Each structure stands twice: as C-alpha cells, then as structure tokens.
Structure 1
Amino acid sequence: MYTDLLVDWIDERTDGWAACINYMDAHLPYEPKAQFDEWDDGTARKLQNESDDQVWSFNSGKSPVWQMCGFESLYDGAIAQIDHEIGRLADTLKARNEWNDTLLIVTADHGEGFGEPSEIRPDAIITGHGAGIHELQLHVPLLVKFPGQRTGVTHDEPVSLTDTPDVVRAAVNGDWKTNEYVTDGPVLASSHGLEEPMEERASQFVDDLWLYNGDYRALYTGCGDHVKKEITWRNEYDSIVDVYNAQMNRVFR
C-alpha cells in the first residue's frame, strides 16, 4: 500500500521532509478489499466487471443509469479503505513521535457522480468527474492538522485549495490560526470540458459531445447554510444554486 511506501521513504530521510501521497483506491475501477466492501453483495462488482465503459456507456444510454447508481456501493467501500489508510498513517506518525511536528492535509482532487441530474446541462446526468461542475464533483473533504494543534475548529465558508502555500507557510512559521484556507471574498471554480484523450474515449459511445464540452465557471459566495453558487456554461446557460452540503442543493434557472 502507498502508506507503507511512504513510511519506508520517510525512514530514508536524514532531515525534515515533505510529501504528497495520492491514494487511488476511489478511482475506477472501484475494487475495495473484502473488509471494506460492506455495501455490495457482489451484484455491483459483477456489473462493473461486465461494463464496456463505466462512464460513457451510461451517458450514451447504452447501459441503464440504475447500474451506475449501484457502483456507488463499491465507491463507498473504496472511501472506507482510504479512511483506514489515513488512520494508519496518523498512527504511524504518532508512534514515531512525529505527529506533533507534522502538518497533515487531507483532501481530494474531485468527487464522483453516479447518475445524478446535472445542475446546468439540459437533460444530462453526472457520471464520474470528467465533465461538469456539479457540487458532487467540487465539494470535497478538507481536513487540516497543524503542528502542535490540540483542538479542532470547523469552518463553514467556501475555501480554495490555491491557498495551500499560505497554509504551509503558517505551519513552518508557527503562526497558524486554522483559518488559512478561508479566502476573503468569493471563491471561483472552473472546468474546460474534455481533454483530447477523453474525447477520443467518449466518441466511441457518444456521437455529439456538445453536452460534455465547453467552459464551466462557478462563483461561490456566503457561508454555512447560505452558500450561493452561480454557474455559467458556454456563456449561454446560467444557474443559481443554493448549497446546503455536498448532497443537498436547490437549483434555480
């Protein structure tokens, strides 16, 4: 596992170190180990193994969306597997007496869709993370443990991962306040659609890729239960979304 590889690498360091570990367990295909595969009775894994393409066959209508919804049970098992590995890493740092001196940031580069209706693209669904700017794709976990931190704080404002350099500087300088990720003013997110390799793959299933390409932009304002997300796509379609959490939102067009 990646955790063991990282610990072995740390053992070879003779001074301070910094590392990024990218757990891939929650990427397709979803294959959690038996001890974490608690939500699938074998049906979803069988369907996944038999699927021609676990994203584009559903966008094309070749495969029924209910099958992709079933894959979420495997995805949940993969997330549980990652949680376990992060816990193992934390326990290892504590056993080595390095926990109090370590800045630990846990986040994700994207979420996943399993057939939910798009917030903005007409009659489209959210499959995976390759196309779209849906809340399921953008609203990811962010946990930060600063060196020497003893108590936790929860922030409910939208944040930007582009502020990571400020977080690292605050940790190194010892003047962190826990709100380094909270950005003054609105938070902007964007996506430019499909890159060439994905276009080639998608074209094997979907004749017209208009729904999956084009520039997406989202502007977040507010905090707590009053976060507003304003979306534009292709400069033609506009939506305003009230965001309550990663699973709950209300769309106005």
Structure 2
Amino acid sequence: MGRVSKPNGRSPDLRAREAYDCWGDGRVRTLQADLPIRYEWAFYGGDRPYWQLGALESLYNGGIRQADAVLEHALKSLRSRGELDETLVVVCGDHGDGFGEPGRVPNEPPAVSHVLPRHEELLHVHLVVRPPGGATGERVDELAALTRFPAVARAHARGDSPLCGFTVDRALALKQPVTADLRKRFERRCDPVEAYLEPSRAGYENAPNTSGAVRKHSYWGDRRVTTLVHAPGVVEHHEPVEPETVDRSFRDGDDGRDSVREPLAGRQPDADVEAQLAALGYY
C-alpha cells in the first residue's frame, strides 16, 4: 500500500509557487511569512483581525491546485504501468482549516486553523474513492467517516467488495480537554480564556425524512445546537438536544467501533517526534 501525503497544504511549495499560486500576491505572502507556524493565538488573542484570514485563503487555493497536480501525476503513473485497475485509490483530507468562520453554537470561537472548534469547515472534508477496476461514478450523500478506511482496504485486499464502503450510521467528534502547554498558551494570549477551554462534542447521523442531509447534535460548554447539514455551507438550525444525549453516543458504541480511544500510558510521542510535529504546527 502506498501513500501520497501533502502535510502542509497552506500554500504551494516555494519551488512550485510560479506554477500553482494563481491567487496570492506579495502582500498575502508577506502576511503569511510574518505569522508564526501556530498562528491561531495571534487572532484569538486580538493581535490580528479575523478578516486577514480571508487573505490567507487565497494561498490555500494554490496549495489545492498543487495537490491536484500531484494526484494527477500519481494516477497517470499507475495507468502507464498498467496498475491503476488493480489499485484502491482514496483521496481524502484529515481536516479542513478555518478562516474566521463564526461558530454555530453560542460562545463557540471562530474557526482559525484546525485546533479548537467543531465547525463544518474543519470536519467536513472531501472523500473520493476509486475501487480496483474502476466504477461508473456515484455521489453518496449519506454520512461517511474516514474511520472506515481500514475495513475498506482489508476488504479490497481480500478481493471482496465492502458492503457499506465509507458510509456509517453515525460519526463522533470531540475536543479533548485543553491541557498542559496548549492550555498555558491560551491562558497567556486570550482574555477572557474560558470560551477556549470549554468541553465540546458533536454527534452526526443521517437525517430522517430529509434526503441527502446529515443531522448534527453538538454542544460547546453549556450551550447546544442541532443543525441539518444539507451541503457545505448550507446549514439549517433545529431545536437542540441535551448534552447528555450527545455524551451517550460516545458511551454506546456498538462492538467498540465507535468508541473514543483515550491516550495510552507509555505510547505518547517522544521528544524528537514532538519536535517534528511542532515544525508542522501540531504542538
């Protein structure tokens, strides 16, 4: 199994800027260069206005254009070697990024980068699948989750066609408690800081009687909301449920498939790995 990963999609690589950066300009590149790798505190702490994030989005467009070119090269290489029809191709993202979009839950911070909020801009990512042998093309509007990837890959390795692919009955998302160094950074930069430290969870399910929509129950601290997500950016508000209803979903996973894994003692990143992750903006 091979993997092509572009870990920093915030802008085209410097050597590829001329070919792919069709939307940014010198002012935007200077803005990005002046920001630290972890720049969310510059905005949450009030040092930078949120509107500047919209300028950074133009650089992301160039990063997407470069990622498309990398994918095109990979698929052409597989086809030229006669291996494409023997390959399961999955194109996905691990998360989206925020450019100052407001939260759906009262007191939820705007979406900046990809650390805190439970915004759709962060959780609703692309997923394109080409099975071995190809397919006629089908758009799936049901709830899907990348957690299905191991089961789908194993099924194809056995020569089986997975019955449900990446679709699921429900999906869960949570913000782990902000602790240790991350909490200290928020406390140093944000006043008041309470909104950034609130517990938050979200549960998704296919919306009954509403074709192509997904229902999301979520809370941020003691505020809660229920929404119908019809498409990216098309969200309809409904009567919220109690936080206990959302929490119950995290406890009632069937066969452990939906259970939330807690960090295990002795299996945390060592100092070298943390340094590498910090260079990519994850610490």
Report TM bin, short chain: 0.7 to 0.9
Aligned equivalent of 1:246, options 214, 232, 238: 232
Q: Which amino acid aligns with 1:26?
A: G
Q: Does 1:187 align with 2:171?
A: yes
Q: CA deviation at 1:105?
A: 1.1
Q: Does 1:75 align with 2:60?
A: yes
3-state SS, counterpart of residue 46 of structure 2? coil
Tell me the distance in 2 between the aligned counterparts of 1:51 and 1:162: 33
> Pairwise mapping of residues 44-59 of structure 1 onto structure 2 (< 5 A)?
44-51=28-35, 54-59=39-44
Aligned equivalent of 1:85, options 46, 70, 73: 70
Write out per-residue CA displacement over residues 125-183 of structure 1, whole angstroms, 9 at most, x where no aligned residue. 11010001110000001111111123211111111211112211221122215741111
Aligned identity (percent) is 30
The alignment's TM-score, normalised by the length of structure 2, stands at 0.74
Gap change, CA 1:28 and 1:227, over 3 Å in 2:
same
Residue in 1 aligned with 2:280? none
Tell me the distance in 2 between the aligned counterparts of 1:230 and 1:140: 18
The alignment's TM-score, normalised by the length of structure 1, stands at 0.82
Tell me the distance in 1 between the aligned counterparts of 2:213 and 2:108: 27
Contact kept, 8 Å, 1:153 with 1:178, in 2: the verdict is: no
Measured on the aligned residues, the alpha-carbon RMSD in Å equals 2.4
How many residues are paired up?
234
Q: Which amino acid aligns with 1:212?
A: Y
Residue in 2 aligned with 1:19? 2
Q: Which amino acid aligns with 2:204?
A: Y
Residue in 2 aligned with 1:227? 214
* Unaligned 5+ runs, structure 1: 1-17
Gap change, CA 1:23 and 1:246, over 3 Å in 2:
same
Q: Which amino acid aligns with 2:9?
A: A
3-state SS, counterpart of residue 148 of structure 1? coil
Q: Does 1:132 align with 2:132?
A: no
Q: Which amino acid aligns with 1:227?
A: V
* Unaligned 5+ runs, structure 2: 241-283
Which 4+ stretches in 1 moved above 3 angstroms?
A: 27-32, 193-204, 250-253
Q: CA deviation at 1:115?
A: 0.5
Contact kept, 8 Å, 2:12 with 2:21, in 1: the verdict is: no
Q: CA deviation at 1:121?
A: 4.8
